[in-house]
Amino acid sequence: MRNVRYLALFVPVALLTFLIGVFISRITLTLSHQEPSDEWQEALESSDTVEVLSALMWFSGSHSDIDPGTEGTKFLTVRQRASVQKRLAELSESNNFWIKSVAATIMANRPTD
Whether 75 maps to a domain, the answer reads yes
Residue 42: CA count within 13 A, CB half-sphere: 5
The pLDDT score that the predictor gives to residue 63 is 54
Range(s) of the domain holding residue 54: 2-108
58 versus 96: the higher-pLDDT residue is 96
The pLDDT score that the predictor gives to residue 35 is 47
Instruction: Determine the Cα angle at 49 with ends 45 and 110, to 5°.
Output: 60
Instruction: Determine the Cα angle at 51 with ends 60 and 19, to 5°.
Output: 55
Whether 44 maps to a domain, the answer reads yes
Q: Report the domain count for the chain.
A: 1
Whether 113 maps to a domain, the answer reads no
pLDDT in tens, 18-74: 777 776 666 555 544 444 567 888 889 999 998 998 888 888 876 555 555 555 567
Answer whether 65's CB lies under 8 Å from 71's CB.
Answer: yes
